[in-house]
Chains A and B, each alone.
Chain A
Amino acid sequence: GAGVSQTPSNKVTEKGKYVELRCDPISGHTALYWYRQSLGQGPEFLIYFQGTGAADDSGLPNDRFFAVRPEGSVSTLKIQRTERGDSAVYLCASSSWTGEAYGYTFGSGTRLTVV
Chain B
Amino acid sequence: KQEVTQIPAALSVPEGENLVLNCSFTDSAIYNLQWFRQDPGKGLTSLLLIQSSQREQTSGRLNASLDKSSGRSTLYIAASQPGDSATYLCAVKGNQGGKLIFGQGTELSVKP
A interface residue numbers (CB < 8 A to B)? 4, 31, 33, 35, 40-45, 48, 50, 55-56, 59, 91, 93, 95, 97-100, 103-109
Among B12-20, B42-50, B60-68, B72-80, the stretch in contact with A:
B42-50
Nearest 9 A/B pairs, CB to CB: A42-B102, A98-B98, A106-B43, A103-B46, A106-B44, A45-B99, A108-B43, A42-B104, A99-B98
Q: Count of B residues near A, CB < 8 Å?
A: 25
Asked whether, in the complex, the Cβ of A100 is within 8 Å of the Cβ of B32, the reply is yes
Contacts A/B (CB < 8 Å), 8 sampled = A43-B89, A43-B102, A55-B97, A56-B98, A98-B98, A100-B32, A103-B34, A109-B43
Shortest Cβ distance from residue A86 to the other chain B in the assembled complex, whole angstroms: 19
Residue of B with least CB distance to A97: B98
Residues of B within 8 A of A41 (CB): 104-105
Q: Binding site of B, secondary structure by majority: helix, strand, loop or mixed? A: strand
Shortest Cβ distance from residue B43 to the other chain A in the assembled complex, whole angstroms: 4
Asked whether, in the complex, the Cβ of B97 is within 8 Å of the Cβ of A107, the reply is no
Q: From residue 87 to 112 of chain B, which have CB atoms closer than 8 A to chain A? A: 89, 91, 93, 97-105
Residues of A within 8 A of B45 (CB): 106
Asked whether, in the complex, the Cβ of B44 is within 8 Å of the Cβ of A43, the reply is yes
Asked whether, in the complex, the Cβ of B31 is within 8 Å of the Cβ of A100, the reply is yes
Asked whether, in the complex, the Cβ of A42 is within 8 Å of the Cβ of B103, the reply is yes
Residue of A with least CB distance to B45: A106
Residues of B within 8 A of A35 (CB): 100, 102
Asked whether, in the complex, the Cβ of A33 is within 8 Å of the Cβ of B98, the reply is yes
